[in-house]
Amino acid sequence: VSADGAPVRTAGPVLVVGTGLLGTSAGLALAARGVEVLLADPSPSAVALAADLGAGRPVGAGGAAGADPEPRLVVVAAPPDVTAAVVAAELARHPEAVVTDVASVKAGVLAGLRARGADLARYAGGHPMAGRERSGAIAARADLFVGRPWVLCPAPAAAGAPGSSAAAVAAVADLAADVGGMPVVMPAEEHDQAVALVSHLPQVAASLVAARLRAAPEAAVALAGQGLRDVTRVAASDPALWVQILGANAGRVAQVLAPLRDDLDALLEALRRLDGTGADGAPGAHAALARALGAGVEGRARIPGKHGSRAAEYSAVTVLVDDRPGELARLFADIAAAGVNLEELRLDHSPGRALALAEVSVLPAARTTLVEQLGAHGWAVHEG
């Protein structure tokens, strides 16, 4: 039984094939809930590490062939470009098991399985929307999937061949829920278009912006602020993995990038006209800038906040905090004592100074209480 009282629904043994970040995290989460987990990976050292971390038991550890129990569920967490081949092999190897995968692009896996004549009734693809800038078993954690969408993409029946059975979809939904994720069912094509937009586009944009910093003067990067940091954070992600992801979703990412490129061209043209002639000689150029910036404001407002609500529904105040041990603790103790729940937090550093700005977001109804209570405790609170 989990912390929130829901019983474990996944029936083991579960075989995890691929003990990288996602596979090991799934193993850790299942093992922590008492599910029997078997681990396999082409790399013996990778599987040994995952086992040492507590993610399960390596297959073949008993010595004799056939000593491992037959899995009821196989989770393929292989690199994206070999996922279809591995899923097909596992379907053939374990004829009673349901097989799923965690690849972040789904239509290609499905096409690869159809091309291999795989038994799709026992397959249901999945994509946990969880990841980190770091990779490998060492970065794994049992709570990686907690609260994250886990998209399920059942195979539709096609050309007389059956698609994913209801039982297979249910088994993968149970897995997702058991490790703390939020199952969301979506056709593969729709999923791949969605991640091209909300995941692959920001990755590409961050990399393109960060690439401009390579040759920048030291004095210029020294002026970098939080805006540049935020825009480029995901640019630190593993290029090898992202080559595979972008490659597997190439057409849909291109469809998202093409209109962005057109917007960029329009912006560039407006900037060049303003540069060449000044505002008076460039009619419409300022309007073009305003359109681009206004479109960004509109798009940004569509991103949901925590608990599915909009970010704009929170109310923020800023508190000045001395940058030394104990001060943040004192701040959060005072927030807690006010009975106010912290919805979002930004800690804004002050390079070269022993001060930080904590931007504390709360529900609007709690704002007045928060400001009063923090003020009463001597905090410098700034509204705005």
- Give the footprint of a second copy on residues 346-365 (CB under 8 A): 347, 349-355, 357
Distance, CA of 31 to CA of 27 (rounded, Å): 6
Among residues 67, 63, 17, which one has the least CA distance to residue 42? 17
**Residue 300, interface with a second copy (CB under 8 A)?**
yes
Single residue of 69, 162, 294, 375 touching a second copy by CB under 8 A? 294
**Residue 141, interface with a second copy (CB under 8 A)?**
yes
Instruction: Please report how close the Cβ of residue 71 comes to a second copy at its closest, in angstroms.
Output: 27
Instruction: Please report how close the Cβ of residue 64 comes to a second copy at its closest, in angstroms.
Output: 35
Instruction: Please report how close the Cβ of residue 303 comes to a second copy at its closest, in angstroms.
Output: 5
Single residue of 40, 121, 194, 371 touching a second copy by CB under 8 A? 194
Q: What angle do CA 157, 163, 166 make, to 5 degrees?
A: 125
- Give the footprint of a second copy on residues 76-115 (CB under 8 A): 81
- Scanning 82-90, 92-100, 112-120, 135-143 for contacts with a second copy by CB under 8 A, the matching segment is 135-143
The nearer residue to a second copy, 36 or 143, going by C-beta atoms, is 143
Sheet holding 37-40, edge to edge: 57-58, 37-40, 14-17, 73-76, 98-101
**Residue 243, interface with a second copy (CB under 8 A)?**
yes
Helix (H, G, I), strand (E, B) or coil at 45: helix
Three-state secondary structure along 189-200? HHHHHHHHHHHH
**Residue 139, interface with a second copy (CB under 8 A)?**
yes
Q: Please say whether the dihedral angle defined by the alpha carbons of residues 189, 80, 239 and 300, taken in this order, is positive or negative.
A: positive
Single residue of 69, 117, 162, 225 touching a second copy by CB under 8 A? 225
- Give the footprint of a second copy on residues 37-56 (CB under 8 A): none
Q: Are 326 and 353 in contact (CB under 8 A)?
A: no
**Residue 5, interface with a second copy (CB under 8 A)?**
no
Distance, CA of 84 to CA of 118 (rounded, Å): 9
Q: Which tokens hold the place of 351?
A: 């390079």
Instruction: Please report how close the Cβ of residue 115 comes to a second copy at its closest, in angstroms.
Output: 12
Distance, CA of 108 to CA of 62 (rounded, Å): 36
**Residue 197, interface with a second copy (CB under 8 A)?**
yes
Single residue of 92, 157, 290, 376 touching a second copy by CB under 8 A? 290
Among residues 328, 325, 324, 326, which one has the least CA distance to residue 358? 328
Instruction: Please report how close the Cβ of residue 137 comes to a second copy at its closest, in angstroms.
Output: 9
